Amino acid sequence: MATYDGLFNALGLREWCNSGTSDAPMSMADLISKTSGDSAESSLWTIPFPSMDAFNAACSNFPQSRDLTQGLESGFLSVKDSLKVVLDPLTQPLSWMLSGAIDVMLSTPWWILIPLLLLVTWAVSRRWSVLLLVAITLCGLAFIDHYEYAMQTLAIIFVCALICVLLGVPIGIAMSRSDRLQRGVIPILDMLQTLPPFVYLIPLIFLFSVTEPKLYGIAVILYAIVPVIRLTDLGIRLVDKEVIEAADAFGMTPRQKLYGVQIPLALPNIMAGVNQTIMMSLAMVVIASMVSAPGLGILVLRGIRNLELGVGLVAGLGIVLLAVILDRVTKAALQRVNRAQN
């Protein structure tokens, strides 16, 4: 006798429960329970939680927990083709951008690309220490034949971080100007920020081919866009109200206040969001190597699969070095912004 037989008897559902009883053989657990004779009595100490499976043991027509997961999967698969018709044209430019950026980084000779990256570093940071750190890191990765992998990782980060900024900053600005929009978007951002990184890949694998760059590109963008949205919204909301009142006194339009007052004063927070977005993009690129994302993550994955300790450690050190130089460059740019405002 199952634990919750009495509940269905009291509700008058016993006939419904027995109506779908099948002649299929019992499961091994039921067979063992029946032969051991310990299914007749259950103490208060061992009573199971009233879950779907516990109810199913008392009523075979009651759905099990696996029916819930199978139903969710069937529902997703039923709308997959319709989603692909809509999402494929919208996301195809992302594949072109990622493929193009990787091709450009790999086809450009090192004696052009490395000086160009150093020139960008100097233009952004204007600090010799940061420039020296970037030069040593890039040359060191090239010296141990990890140059192509590092360039692939940088290309993905550049494209995904740029898209995150282009999408996240306007969303953050819109949130700062509407409390209702903020209340609606915050739960979505909370969900994106708390989902485990691997969960982002599950629905995308069903929607797109593993060979398509947009598969890992969308995962990186969804994972990394949250900080720039939050900090843009926060930065604009933290602008001193007296400054806004002064702008109103001068007769500035909302657009003039936004571009002439609010965004410049919120720029330190926005740059902090860009820094966090770049760091999260790098973290997700490594995880996305499981779905064919190129770069140093491929070597880390190879080290795990083949138990090649040296390969995994060296590639992991390369990822750490890339994270350090990206962090230092963006923080140096943030310090320049702060000094300019002060």
What integer pLDDT is reported at residue 41 of this predicted model? 54
Q: Per the domain annotation, does 14 fall within a domain?
A: yes
Average pLDDT over residues 18-30: 56
Residue 136: CB atoms within 10 A of its CB come to 12
Q: Per the domain annotation, does 72 fall within a domain?
A: no
pLDDT at 39 over 50: no
Q: Per the domain annotation, does 139 fall within a domain?
A: yes
Domain co-membership, 98 together with 19: no
pLDDT at 26 over 80: no
Domain co-membership, 25 together with 106: no
Domain co-membership, 131 together with 226: yes
Domain co-membership, 146 together with 226: yes
Domain co-membership, 189 together with 292: yes
pTM for the predicted model, two decimal places: 0.86
Backbone angles phi, psi at 45, to 5 degrees: -70, -35
Residues 287-297 have pLDDT tens digits of 999 888 999 99
What integer pLDDT is reported at residue 31 of this predicted model? 55
On the CB side of 197, CA atoms within 13 Å amount to 17
- Of 40 and 181, the structure prediction assigns the larger pLDDT to 181
Q: Per the domain annotation, does 303 fall within a domain?
A: yes
The candidate with the shortest Cα–Cα distance to 175, out of 166, 164, 184, 163, is 184
Q: Per the domain annotation, does 69 fall within a domain?
A: no
Domain co-membership, 18 together with 159: no
Domain co-membership, 306 together with 217: yes
Range of the domain at 194: 79-341
Domain co-membership, 16 together with 134: no
- Domain final position from 37, 63, 89: 63
Domain co-membership, 105 together with 163: yes
* Runs of H (alpha helix) within the chain: 5-10, 14-19, 28-36, 52-58, 65-107, 110-125, 128-143, 147-176, 179-194, 197-207, 213-224, 226-237, 241-249, 254-257, 263-287, 296-305, 309-341
Q: Per the domain annotation, does 92 fall within a domain?
A: yes
pLDDT at 30 over 80: no
Surface-to-core class of residue 254, CB atoms within 10 Å of its CB (0-12 exposed, 13-18 middle, 19+ buried): exposed
Count: domains in the chain: 2
Residues 220-276 have pLDDT tens digits of 999 999 999 999 999 999 999 899 999 989 888 889 999 989 999 999 999 999 999
Domain co-membership, 53 together with 131: no
Domain co-membership, 93 together with 238: yes
Q: Which two tokens stand for residue 83?
A: 């989603």
For the chain, what percent of residues have pLDDT higher than 90? Answer: 60
**What is the DSSP track for 174-224?**
HHHT-HHHHHHHHHHHHHHHHS-HHHHHHHHHHHS-TT-HHHHHHHHHHHH
CA angle 255-261-265, nearest 5°?
A: 135
What integer pLDDT is reported at residue 21 of this predicted model? 54
Domain co-membership, 31 together with 166: no
What integer pLDDT is reported at residue 32 of this predicted model? 56
What integer pLDDT is reported at residue 40 of this predicted model? 46
- 292 Cα distance to chain centroid: 16
d(CA 127, CA 197): 34
Q: What is the dihedral of CA 324, 325, 330, 331, to 10 degrees?
A: 60
Q: Name the amino acid, one letter, at 153.
A: T
Q: Per the domain annotation, does 71 fall within a domain?
A: no
What integer pLDDT is reported at residue 84 of this predicted model? 87
CATH of the domain at 155: 1.10.3720.10
Q: Per the domain annotation, does 70 fall within a domain?
A: no
